[in-house]
Amino acid sequence: MRRAALALTLLLAATGASATPTLTVFACEPEWAALTRVLMPQARLHVATHAGQDPHHIEARPALIAQLRSADLAVCTGAALESGWLPVLQQRAGNARVRDVFYAADHVELIDPQPGVIGTPWAGDVHAQGNPHLHTDPHKLLEVAQALAQRLQQECPVQREAIAERLRGFETQWRARIAHWERQAAPLRGRSVAAQHTTFGYLWRWLGLRQTADLEPRPGMAPTPGHLQRLLEGLRREPPLAVVVAGFHDPRAARWLAGQLGSSTTWLTLPATVAEDADGAALLRWMDELVAPLLRAAAR
Ligand SMILES: [Zn+2]
């Protein structure tokens, strides 16, 4: 009898210990941290970049090396977005567990690959493999969520069912919102935008917008007066709905260009990603924050 009670205690203790097994995840960008939280809320997360930073270019700080050293899994964008800093972190962290990084870009079809262009680790913003900023297309984000769920299940098999259930919940909610955004966005279809870099290339494609000018003279290069002047001349023929920059860009070039184009063009700063502590609800709000300002611009 006493032995049976002891066995039960041990069993309960073991169940208790494995009821909330967790992983330490190093997320290169906040959107992947948010998706990890959706699928595995108990995961310990380190987030390498924030919305105020250009994810192409960050410094391989010692704090990041220490975080990568302690991680069980790294979740990043790939397609060379992090090629200027992630290999350095990996080398210095010397952690075999994070050698096989989960790259979101491996699980979706990328737009605008440039097969002839040679990308280098120092020119990740050239996008030879295709545009890596795929998280601004909610359909692609959902595909990444499905692939990430599989990977987390492999890493943490006892959580298999719980992860599958959370994925189903996210899919249902996310699909309903996609349908809502797509209905809302009807007035945007066929309109044009000017923007700095291809940060929102997937958003434009999803919403049926066309990016007709890039404020960068070359990928990753800040706008120059000469380049802006040339763009202005071209854009006068078909003034865009908006001139758009990401939150981490200096907005002055966009403001100037929109001002020169007159009242039919507005300038917008859109958040390139969510906050570092974002969850599923924050991902939904962020997508609202991308769509709503464009709709307001179109309604002017
Ligand atoms: Zn880029």
Q: What is the pLDDT of residues 222-271, one digit of tens each?
A: 999 999 999 999 999 999 999 999 999 999 999 999 999 999 999 999 99
For 214, the 3-state DSSP assignment is strand
Identify whether the C-beta of residue 79 lies closer than 8 Å to the C-beta of residue 132: yes
Residues 148 and 201 both lie in one domain: no
- In the sheet with 242-246, reading across from the earlier edge strand, the strands are 210-214, 192-195, 242-246, 266-270
Residues 199 and 173 both lie in one domain: no
Domain contains 10 = no
Domain contains 6 = no
Taking the centre of ligand 1 as the mean of its atom positions, its distance from the CA of residue 241, in whole angstroms, is 22
Helices (H), 156-278: 160-184, 201-207, 225-235, 252-261
Domain contains 4 = no
| Sign of the alpha-carbon dihedral angle for 29, 33, 36, 42 | positive
pLDDT in tens, 141-172: 999 999 999 999 999 999 999 999 999 999 99
Taking the centre of ligand 1 as the mean of its atom positions, its distance from the CA of residue 179, in whole angstroms, is 27
Cross-strand bridge partners of residue 300:
none
Where does a domain end: 180, 211, 238? 180
Q: Burial of 95 by CB count in 10 Å (0-12 exposed, 13-18 middle, 19+ buried)? A: middle
Taking the centre of ligand 1 as the mean of its atom positions, its distance from the CA of residue 144, in whole angstroms, is 18
pLDDT in the model for residue 219 = 87
Residues 172 and 191 both lie in one domain: no
Taking the centre of ligand 1 as the mean of its atom positions, its distance from the CA of residue 91, in whole angstroms, is 23
Residues 129 and 204 both lie in one domain: no
Taking the centre of ligand 1 as the mean of its atom positions, its distance from the CA of residue 80, in whole angstroms, is 9
Domain contains 17 = no
Taking the centre of ligand 1 as the mean of its atom positions, its distance from the CA of residue 272, in whole angstroms, is 11
Taking the centre of ligand 1 as the mean of its atom positions, its distance from the CA of residue 99, in whole angstroms, is 23
Domain contains 7 = no
Q: Identify the domain containing residue 261 by its residue range.
A: 187-299
Residues 115 and 211 both lie in one domain: no
Residues 194 and 255 both lie in one domain: yes
Where does a domain end: 127, 158, 180? 180
Cα separations in angstroms, 30 against 27, 33, 292: 7, 5, 21
Taking the centre of ligand 1 as the mean of its atom positions, its distance from the CA of residue 44, in whole angstroms, is 28
Taking the centre of ligand 1 as the mean of its atom positions, its distance from the CA of residue 235, in whole angstroms, is 23
Total structural domains within the chain: 2
What is the Cα–Cα distance from 257 to 243, expressed in whole angstroms?
Answer: 7
Residues 61 and 170 both lie in one domain: yes
The pTM of the full predicted model, rounded to 2 decimals, is 0.91
Residues 207 and 295 both lie in one domain: yes
Taking the centre of ligand 1 as the mean of its atom positions, its distance from the CA of residue 85, in whole angstroms, is 14
Of 17-31, 95-109, 198-212, the range with the lowest mean pLDDT is: 17-31
Residues 111 and 247 both lie in one domain: no
Residues 43 and 164 both lie in one domain: yes
What's 48's domain CATH number? 3.40.50.1980
Taking the centre of ligand 1 as the mean of its atom positions, its distance from the CA of residue 211, in whole angstroms, is 15
Residues 155 and 261 both lie in one domain: no
pLDDT in tens, 75-129: 999 999 999 999 999 999 999 999 999 999 999 999 998 877 765 655 557 888 9
Where does a domain end: 159, 180, 201? 180
Residues 49 and 105 both lie in one domain: yes
Taking the centre of ligand 1 as the mean of its atom positions, its distance from the CA of residue 197, in whole angstroms, is 6
